[in-house]
Structure 1
Amino acid sequence: MVRYKDVVDASKEGPACPLPIQWSGPEYYVDEDCLTINVYTPSNKVDKPLPVIFFIHAGGFYSMTGRSDLAGPHYLLDRDVVFVAINYRLASLGFLSAGDKYAPGNNGFKDQVSALRWVQRNIAAFGGDPNLVTITGCSAGSISVMLHMISPMSKGLFHRGISMSASPVSKAPTPKHQFHLAKQQAEILNCPTNSTKAILDCLNTKTWRELGNSLTGFFDSAGDPIGLWGAVVEQDFGQERFLTMQPLDAIRQGKMHTVPYIISQTKHEFFWKAYSILQNQTLTDRMNSQFEQAAPFSFLLPEENIQTVAKTLKEKYLQNKPLVNDEASAKNLGTLYGDSVVGFGVHRLANLMCLHSKHPVYYYQFSYIGNNSHYQDPKTGKPLGAAHHDDMIYVFSLSYQFPLIETSSPHSHKVDELTAIWYNFARYGDPNPRPDTPELGSLSWPVMKPDQRKYLDFGDKLTIQENMSEDRFKIWEELYPIIY
């Protein structure tokens, strides 16, 4: 741990963790010395410690950052909260794992734990309440939030959780290592692959820039696979372990430190991935002729029983019809991408947690379509759905891609609603209206229960519905059965 003798000027943002220069641009501030924390406080004077909202950024564990262009505090600081956004090491630097003493894995998660420990030690100096910390995250950050409820390293470091659009429990168990990715990283940088030690000895001679830029070599021309690195169940080599057992087992056995929890997904998640296939004839032909071979890579499916799985998905989602570049194929293939990559896992997480958590679980679907989206029609510039990450537009000022939503905007009420939900939840562990959050009107959002699976639909209006997309998720439950 670094201890500074003198006052440190922390008024400027630190760098992003290593990313490909093709993604960040040559002028973007990127450096290996990237484990920084951004702390934001409201300008008004408050006479008691404020709830802390701690954000873990998205990006598949290989991209994005906690810098203010991706996690801008402007909307949240209209509420009386202290907001914290963090970086953690990405890709091979953060998640390389070989299941041995040389690379047991989970370094990026341990970075997150270090940041949470820093908050416990220091946030009071910024007006924050260390006994009222809400950990939040989208996508990779969403997975992280749930894993912190299981990790022995994270116990006592937070008091609420919000997971948006991803789950660590889905179709397959969490692996003990990802040596195949370590080997692939070595091959991309012309390193030997005969042992973990040989791989690491060689990778240690490479610059962080070489490691960051090598990331593009992991993906095909359609940008698949969407997911690569992730958590591993660490074997004991004498190190402090972030994850010591299967998340599914921990949930079912109650071996977790649960807190009040909000779980969500967007209505159209990864629908736009269909266009990257259908607007490329070569990729369309490959998906049609080699669906069984393409499916594990594109839809993040286990290889086990892939013949039956691929046959079922092709029948249920694509009606056994060849894919063509039209609206019907785009809708069907886009729904398959969304359900497989995000939707089913989130469904499974919500159902497990409402059954086994000692604390309330709230579930919502973000279906609102405003002026902006993370996927906009190239011809019209207009959104086509509520895509993956789109609820983030109304929580953070995402200046890297979107204009600020002014109070005069017809969409500003969505910022008010979503930040009010976060504010109430951070304070009380209950997102429902309080006298100082009239934006939520007469909302009465019930706790999700195993036999009453109600959820909030966050659309043009806030409405309570039941059994989110369970007709489709039943297909996956049959393909990948578990005992709940």
Structure 2
Amino acid sequence: MQATLVGLLPCRKMLVLTLAFCFMVPSSACRQTVAKQTAVPDIKNTANMSAESNSSIFEDNPVVTTPSGSFRGTWMETRRGRRFEAYRGIRYAEAPVGKLRFQPPKPILHYDDEVDATEDGPACPQPAPVGYYIDEDCLTINVYTPSHDSKEPLPVIFFIHAGGYYSMSGRSDLAGPHYLLDRDIVLVTINYRIGSLGFLSTGDALAPGNNGFKDQVVALRWVQRNILSFGGDPNLVTIAGCSAGSSSVLLHMVSPMSQGLFHRGISISGSPITKVPLSQDMLDLAQKQAQILNCPTNSPEAIVECLKTKSAKQMGDSLTSFYVFGSDPLLIWSPIVEPDLGQERFLTMEPMEAIRKGKMHAVPFIISRTTDEFFWKAFTVLKNETLLNTMNDEWERIAPISFALPPENSAETVNRLKQEYFGGKRLVNDESTAKALGNLYGDTLIGFPVHRMANLMCRHSPHKVFYYEFAYIGDHSHYEDPVTKKPTAAAHHDDLIYLFTLSYQFPTIQVSDSKDSQMVDKMTAVWSNFAKYGDPNPRGPEYPELSSLHWPPMTPTDRQYLRFGDEFSVHENLFEDRMKTWEELYSVLY
């Protein structure tokens, strides 16, 4: 079971709840580790056990009545002891099963009976440890609020989970509310269809594509109808996401389906604007999915009809069969520009073109990356003799697979990258090669796309764009040294550790004088301040954690960014020395 994802993690200890598949150890060892964990009771409702224990103390569970219906939730408690209301597992769309598989979501506009919103719903189909709650009927939304009877409606943060469009979820074990709910905001987390179930596209009416994004839109529309009753302000919605969720945030700004549904944006470590324009279908992936599950591949009709007969588990568990070289490619499914087939289209034009032409509904925007992103991917190659020899001996074949390069890339292009990052030398298992290979993985998968998105938006958005680098290294990371068990760098989506309780892998950061505890306060203050005002800079004494913060917006001529380290500091031209090579290879007019 050797797998990973954009937004999922190298295997550190493989806790029972982890959806991060083993990537840092040999696959046989990983399978043994997983096997040890799977001999457990059904764990679908064990996330946030402390919160569930708290809820049992209060027999008077909160009930909210909205224009769509009534919802019974539970009580939870933040890390600072604040009691808040949690409404989880609410279906916002009909089960996308049977005839609705591969079709746009059908929203649920009214609930006839009181909805039991006391437990997390399932994650959408994906590989996972035995016993983890997975189901195709997974289009659910969670709402966390200080009080549905707030005197004034509160800013809403709508979080879109990471996972490369094929893993993770919005469940409370992967996006726990216990840090952000110490702030006066309403937090919404969601599930959306992932993998082939969410993004299958044949380029015709059978499967036009982008259904996972259309799920997100339906969830945003649900928020507009109902969030006021939960104490949230429907006119003050911040969409935020990490990795695949980060890319989703930018796509909503250029989607005609999303206009008017949100008012600020936060993109952490991900961008849909990469090296070449998006395609209009992913028929090649549909054919591969069909081949993996022994379906015919001779026509879109045959593919879709056969895949509809396969179980959701078969669809979800087939993920690892998409890999070509080790656990690469890391990027598999992607958004498409939909052909006009009479359907409501999520994307009607290339995002880069839409931004340049001003055909977007831009909002105040925070964009970020971590310092080292996918640096740990280097170890999976360098510590595996077979992979290392293959990458060296077949560089021109492997480089486009591992580094998400367009298939038409010439030998000249891939060898230019080899020269820039390795001085043209063969890769060896040493520290300098690990650093260079880690930079290459990080730059191609995250760094350059984010760089391009930030530079486009600061030129064409009428609103301020704030750029940051997350450089803080705390007590935990999504990659920790296998010997010392300590973090060594700021890895991909490490900033989430200080925004959400990630109980599937990390302990809750307790209130203390520790730097980790202070970082929780800083990160949640930045998010809540930005959600309220559209600017992360403090306005008076409301957020003492931000008293030292001075964060200038990014402009085309003054490309400043904030570094989140032990302290806040302002710098300029984030990794632009390395970005120069990518700009030359994949040039565009900004």
1:465 and 2:571 aligned:
yes
Instruction: State the match for 2:100 in structure 1.
Output: none
- 1:28 aligns with one of 121, 132, 143: 132
Q: Deviations over 1:105-128 (max 9, x none)?
A: 000000000000000000011000
1:359 aligns with 2:459: no
The aligned counterpart of 1:6 is 113
Q: Distance in 1 between matches of 2:397 and 2:323?
A: 16
Write the distance in 2 (CA, Å) between the matches of 1:301 and 1:425.
35
The answer (yes or no) to whether the contact 1:98–1:182 under 8 Å persists in 2 is: yes
Say whether the 8 Å CA contact 2:148–2:229 is kept in structure 1: no
Q: Which of 202, 216, 219 lines up with 1:115 in the alignment?
A: 219
8 Å contact from structure 1 (residues 266, 390) kept in 2: yes
- Of 405, 411, 420 in structure 2, the residue corresponding to residue 307 of structure 1 is 411
Structure 2: distance between partners of 1:53 and 1:410: 25
Deviation at 1:210, TM superposition (A): 1.0
Q: Tell me, what secondary structure is at the counterpart of 1:353?
A: helix
- Give the drift of 1:100: 0.9
Alignment of 1:229-378 (within 5 A): 229-378=333-482
Match of 2:532 among 422, 427, 430: 427
Counterpart among 285, 289, 299 of residue 181 in structure 1 = 285
Aligned residue identity for 2:302: A
In structure 1, distance between residues paired with 2:551 and 2:111 = 47
Q: What amino acid is the match of 1:478?
A: E
| Deviation digits for residues 41-96 of structure 1 (CA, Å, limit 9, x no counterpart) | 12596310000000000000000000011101110000000000000000000000
Shift of 1:436: 1.1
One-letter amino acid matched to 1:34: C
Q: Is the 8 A contact 1:160 1:260 kept in 2?
A: yes
User: Alpha-carbon deviation of 1:148?
Assistant: 0.1
Aligned twin of 1:73: 177
Show the counterpart of 1:480: 586
TM-score, length-scaled by structure 1 = 0.98
CA distances 1:362-407 after superposition (whole Å, capped 9, x unpaired) = 0000010111111111111111110101010011110111010111
Q: In structure 2, how many angstroms separate the alpha carbons of the residues matched to 1:61 and 1:476?
A: 25
User: Conserved in 2, the CA contact under 8 Å of 1:296 and 1:306?
Assistant: no
Q: CA deviation at 1:219?
A: 1.7
Separation in structure 2 between the aligned mates of residue 213 and residue 480 of structure 1, nearest angstrom: 35
Q: Is the 8 A contact 2:147 2:230 kept in 1?
A: no
Q: Give the gaps of 5 or more residues in structure 1.
A: none
Task: Give the corresponding residue for 1:95.
Answer: 199
Give the distance between the partners of 1:197 and 1:249, measured in 2 at CA: 32
Mapped contact 1:105–1:232 kept (Cα < 8 A): yes
Aligned counterparts, 1:36-185, within 5 A:
36-42=140-146, 46-185=150-289
Give the residue type in structure 1 aligned to 2:423.
Q
2:307 is matched with which residue? 203
Identity of aligned residues (%): 64
Name which of 529, 548, 552 aligns with 1:442.
Answer: 548
Displacement after TM superposition at 1:411 (Å): 1.0
How many Å apart are 1:10 and its aligned residue? Answer: 0.9
Distance 1:442 1:282 in 2: 50
Residues 309-340 of structure 1 deviation map (CA, whole Å, 9 limit, x = unaligned): 11111001011121111111110100000001
How many residues matched? 481
Range moving further from structure 2, 269-278 or 427-436 = 427-436
SS at structure 1 position matched to 2:519: helix
Counterpart Cα distance in 1 of 2:495 and 2:488:
14
Give the residue type in structure 1 aligned to 2:245: G
Shift of 1:4: 2.2
- The structural deviation recorded for 1:35 is 0.2
1:205-228 Cα deviation digits (max 9, x unpaired): 111111111112112463111111
Specify whether residues 294 and 58 from structure 1 end up closer, same or farther in structure 2 by C-alpha distance, changes over 3 A only. Answer: same
Structure 2: 5+ residue stretches without partners? 1-106
C-alpha separation in 2, matches of 1:318 and 1:402: 35
Secondary structure at the counterpart of residue 373 of structure 1: coil
**Amino acid paired to 1:418:** M
Q: Give the aligned residue type for 2:318.
A: S
Most deviating of 405-414 and 289-298: 405-414
Q: CA RMSD in A?
A: 1.0
The Cα of 1:177 is off from its aligned counterpart by 0.6
3-state DSSP of counterpart to 2:469: strand
**Residue type at the aligned position of 1:458:** F
Which amino acid in the other structure matches residue 367 of structure 2?
I
**Residue identity in the other structure for 1:441:** S
Q: Counterpart of 1:201 in 2: which secondary structure?
A: helix
CA, structure 1 residues 192+455, in 2 after alignment: closer, same or farther (shift >3 Å)?
A: same
CA distance in 2, matches of 1:306, 1:336: 18
Between the aligned partners of 1:49 and 1:4, the Cα distance in structure 2 is 24
Cα pair 2:278 2:350 within 8 Å, conserved: yes
Q: SS where residue 552 of structure 2 aligns?
A: coil
Instruction: Report if the CA contact (8 A) 2:325-2:401 is conserved.
Output: no
Q: Does the 8 A contact of 2:157 with 2:186 survive in 1? A: yes
- Report if aligned partners of 2:214, 2:346 keep a CA contact under 8 Å in 1: yes
- Give the Cα separation in 1 of the matches to 2:396 and 2:375: 20
Comparing 118-127 and 300-309, the one that deviates more: 300-309
Q: Could you tell me how far 1:306 is from its partner in structure 2?
A: 2.7
Partner of 2:126: 19
CA distance in 1, matches of 2:324, 2:546: 44
Instruction: Write the mapping of 1:358-437 to structure 2, written as runs, cut at 5 A.
Output: 358-408=462-512, 409-434=514-539, 435-437=541-543
